[in-house]
Amino acid sequence: MKKLISIISLIICAGQIQAEDGSRLWLRAPATAHAEVSCNKQSPTTDIALKEIRTQWRGGTPVLLKIQPAGKSGGGRLSPDSYSIRCRGVDDVVTIESATEQGLLYGAYHLLRLQEMGQADGQLQVVESPRYDIRILNHWDNPDRSVERGYAGISLWNWEELPATVSPRYEAYARANASVGINATVLNNVNASPQILSAAYLAKVKALADIFRPYGIRVYLSINFSSPTELGGLPTSDPSDKAVRRWWKDKAGEIYELIPDFGGFLVKANSEGLPGPQDFGRTHADGANMIADALKPHKGIVMWRAFVYNPGDEDRAKQAYREFMPFDGRFRDNVIVQVKNGPVDFQPREPFSPLFGAMKKTPVMAEFQITQEYLGFSNHLAYLAPMWKECLDSDTYQQGEGSTVARVTDGSIYPQKIKAIAGVANTGTDVNWCGHHLAQANWYAFGRLAWNHQLSSKEIADEWITLTFKDATDRTAADFSFFKGELSRMMLESREAVVEYMMPLGLHHLFAWGHHYGPEPWCDIPGARPDWMPGYYHKADAEGIGFDRSRTGSNATAQYHARLAERFDNPATCPEELILWFHHVPWDHRMKSGNTLWEELCHAYGRGVVRVNSFRTAWGRLEKYVDAERFVHIRNKLKIQIRDAVWWRDACLLYFQELSGRPIPYGVEPPIHDLKRLKQFRLNIDNHTNVSESELFMK
């Protein structure tokens, strides 16, 4: 009997651990309902929608899923992924209509989201249509299962076991994506191995595509431009060569024979040493168009990355614009140029890339980084919706006031045939998927903004908190309101906190060599590329600090619309949060606050540390409102983040103080570390592993 009780106890404990380990993400609604639901069409996709509603809908009213021909639903023409949800009252049937099965699935998840948010009672009159047709995750996963800039374990894709063995995580991944409207995924790293296009690997890709298909997710692959040579044995990969063009045409046919709904290719070429058309004296347009021609008969697309830069005297921030603008209008209509949110590289704060809006004849898509390569890996709380909104809401002025990045990429201003948006994924084999329980919010936020970029950061945070934590313990409505308010505040302030304790006022790329985790503004590796060194960006000296990109410097400001160029070009009108991005500013320059630049810099670093300390205090007040496992996990992450914030503050202020010769102002906590000791400290980490707490003790 005692043995039986012990077994039962272990099962109960195991169930509790499973329930609160983060593996269920935001999909935590109990599947105990027995709702009445029907559909006028049966398919693998509608079967999923029916199951989700049947097991989770607790509204009491029947639900009807209805395929309605496009143009008739709600009296207006809707895109294939669009849907409507209608209910006249508590005694009426809830009707979800769409022109496609995929739209019905999105409608089902939206209805369940409304239920969990307490917004599904009574009348419903919802019409939803995505702002972007392709809402895609980019995985930087390698064949050996390492993940470049991945901080949540190794790759989800077990290539060695595929296609014979299929992990249940694959379907769970697809379900999570579909629940927030993500409908596409690039399975492998942009630094691609030609191996991914081999017959053996394509069979593995097919196995994943078959799992994802019922959830409305199409697979794409990153390709290596030299694949015709390295995989096909051709003497060249020149896009003008007939044999090369034939090789790509045959390879596309091979892929589509296996995967009829294959999406297409993502290409990183002539960047950071990777091969590309320029190796043969050709242009980006020549390379993209060759591959586009191979995909065209199958309705596939090419996403050609604009992240290109080479060593030289030119400002790295200018190179993408310089290389791509001359070819605007010269790309095939199934090519879209994928542009990082800023002109350098996913920094905690950058101005938007000047390519947005400037390319008027070529579809352009934004690329955001969900994984926190430059924002503390998965050790730091950094809710990124405010960062992405900052980019999307920025006005390019290219077609008059209101020409925001969002509107010049979603088809509102330019008649783009392809409307897409990408996010570099932060998922891995960690039980909680993202390495940090709160980092799950960034995956969720990307999906929601990709569907509707007009949602606010707070709306998305409140949704995610409710879906993820509401069922953690039995609490009153007032208790949960307090919990949500505190956690929402932490999340909404977190990105700004990271900017302040890492690189305020437009500073950028002050990271340690190689792994981009800690501060190393003094880094200078003999023989290394200058544009990989922090000094290239901060330009700090006895006179001042910052990169002069005005007309007296690199003239990068001229790449923006005249209205912005004029604003950015003058230190007096340049937004102060970007002043050191665009200007080399004297230490004694007077800021709007009345402080000198040096004083303002010190106060910003100090504020960042204070903010993170406030997060730890606030989280401590929430202990009784959340399960113990996630509480302890997040508390420990905040502990690391506080130590890192102090590390960043001390390293940067002590180093820049040596150059400025000015004292730390009153009101800023003085550094606790010694600069000589900080310069000797080195982290030894792999790019796909996180940094443990013990590694950060500076012994």
Same fold across 134-469 and 497-547+584-696:
no
pLDDT band at 90 (very low <50, low <70, confident <90, very high): confident
What pTM was estimated for this model as a whole?
0.95
pLDDT in tens, 304-317: 999 999 877 899 99
Poorest-confidence range of 82-96, 104-118, 550-564? Answer: 82-96
Residue with tokens 């060695």: 160
* The pLDDT value given to residue 91: 78
End-to-end CA distance of the chain: 53
Mean pLDDT of 677-698: 69
Neighbours of 71 (CB within 10 A): 11
Please give the pLDDT value at position 262: 99
Domain 31-128 has CATH 3.40.640.10: no
Predicted confidence (pLDDT) at residue 683 exceeds the cutoff of 90: no
Residue 14 has pLDDT above 80, yes or no: no
Whose CA is closest to 63, among 46, 80, 50?
50
Partners of 304 in the β-ladder: 267, 337
pLDDT class of 17 with cuts at 50, 70, 90 = very low
* Dist. CA 589–CA 167, nearest whole Å: 58
pLDDT for residue 1: 40
pLDDT tens per residue across span 589-643: 999 999 999 999 999 999 999 999 999 999 999 999 999 999 999 999 999 999 9
Q: Which pLDDT value is given to residue 265?
A: 99
Average of per-residue pLDDT across 31-48: 97
Q: Which of 55, 68, 129 is nearest to 95 (CA)?
A: 68
pLDDT digits (tens, 9 = 90+) for 248-258: 999 999 999 99
Q: What average pLDDT does the chain have? A: 94
Task: Name the active-site residue from 144, 161, 250, 272.
Answer: 272
Nearest by Cα to 410 from 106, 133, 183, 181: 133
588: annotated active-site residue? no
**Which residues touch 662 (CB under 8 Å, ≥6 apart)?**
587, 596, 598
Tens of pLDDT, residues 342-387: 999 999 999 999 999 999 999 999 999 999 999 999 999 999 999 9
pLDDT at 375: 98
Give me the residue label for tokens 């402080």.
Answer: 595
Q: Give the pairing type, strands 301-305 and 585-586.
A: unpaired
**Domain edges within the chain:** 31-128, 134-469, 497-547+584-696
Q: What is the pLDDT of residue 694?
A: 54
What pLDDT, on a 0 to 100 scale, did the predictor assign at position 473?
59
- Tell me the mean pLDDT in the region 531-548: 97
pLDDT > 90 in the chain, percent = 89
Helices (H), 325-404: 355-358, 385-392
- For residue 527, the Cα-to-chain-centroid distance in whole angstroms is 33
Please, which pLDDT band fits residue 566 given cuts at 50, 70 and 90? very high
Distances (CA, A) of 569 to 2, 325, 532, 539, 592: 78, 21, 25, 18, 17
* Percentage of the chain lying above the pLDDT 70 cut: 94
Report how far Cα 495 is from the mean position of its chain's Cα atoms. 14
Instruction: Summarize the confidence of residues 644-660 as an average pLDDT.
Output: 98
pLDDT at residue 690, rounded to an integer: 66
Q: Domain 134-469 is in which class?
A: alpha beta
Given the residues 81, 101, 286, 345, the one annotated as active site:
345
pLDDT at 446: 99
Could you report the per-residue pLDDT of 388-420, keeping only the tens digit for each? 999 999 999 999 999 999 999 999 999 989 999
Q: Which of 372, 664, 353 is nearest to 511 (CA)?
A: 372
pLDDT at residue 475, as a whole number? 75
Digit-coded pLDDT (tens) for 173-232: 999 999 999 999 999 999 999 999 999 999 999 999 999 999 999 999 999 999 999 999
Six-digit token pair at 611? 């903010």
3-state secondary structure 220-255: EEEECCCHHHHCCCCCCCCCCCHHHHHHHHHHHHHH
Token representation of residue 614: 């406030």
- Is residue 74 pLDDT above 60, yes or no? no
Least confident of 75-84, 633-642, 654-663: 75-84
Local structure of 359: helix, strand or coil: coil
Query: Residue 693 has what pLDDT?
Result: 55
The DSSP bridge partners found for residue 544 are 586
Domain range 497-547+584-696, CATH architecture: Alpha-Beta Complex (3.90)
Query: What's the confidence (pLDDT) of residue 5?
Result: 37
* Residue 20 a catalytic site member: no
pLDDT of residue 13 exceeding 50, the answer is: no
Mean pLDDT value of segment 265-293: 97
Give the pLDDT confidence of 456-513 residue by residue, as tens digits.
Answer: 999 999 999 999 999 865 678 899 999 999 999 999 999 999 999 999 999 999 999 9
Q: Kindly name the residue from 141, 323, 373, 493 that is annotated as catalytic.
A: 373
Q: Which amino acid is at 282?
A: R
- Please check the confidence at residue 692 and state whether its pLDDT lies above 90: no
Burial 559-569 (b: 16+ CB within 10 A, else e): bbbeebbebbb
Cα angle value 438/442/445 (rounded, 5°): 125
Tokens of 371: 């994984």
Cis status, amide bond into 665, omega within 30 of 0: no
In this predicted structure, the answer to whether residue 695 has a pLDDT above a threshold of 80 is no
302 DSSP β-pair partners? 265, 335
Q: Is pLDDT at 3 greater than 50 in this prediction?
A: no
Rounded Cα gap, residues 122 and 89, in angstroms: 5
Position of tokens 């707070």? 458
CA nearest to 25, candidates 389, 377, 442: 442
pLDDT at 6: 39
Question: Is 511 or 697 the better-scoring residue by pLDDT?
Answer: 511
Confidence band for 69, pLDDT divided at 50, 70 and 90: confident
What is the C-alpha to C-alpha distance for residues 698 and 684, in angstroms, rounded to an integer?
A: 13
Closest CA relative to residue 608, chosen from 389, 348, 351: 348
Supply 504's token pair: 């305020």
Neighbours of 239 (CB within 10 A): 23
Residue 158: pLDDT above 50? Answer: yes
- List the beta bridge partners of residue 265: 221, 302
Q: Is the pLDDT of residue 122 over 90?
A: no
Span 123-145, average pLDDT: 97
Compute the CA torsion angle 30, 35, 41, 46 (nearest 10 deg): 0
DSSP letter string over 680-691?
H------TTS--
Give the per-residue pLDDT at 363: 98
Res 4: pLDDT: 38
Check residue 121 and give its pLDDT: 87
Please state at what angle helix 385-392 crosses helix 457-469, rounded to 10 degrees: 150
Quick check: 326 pLDDT over 80? Answer: yes
Q: Is 345 a catalytic residue?
A: yes
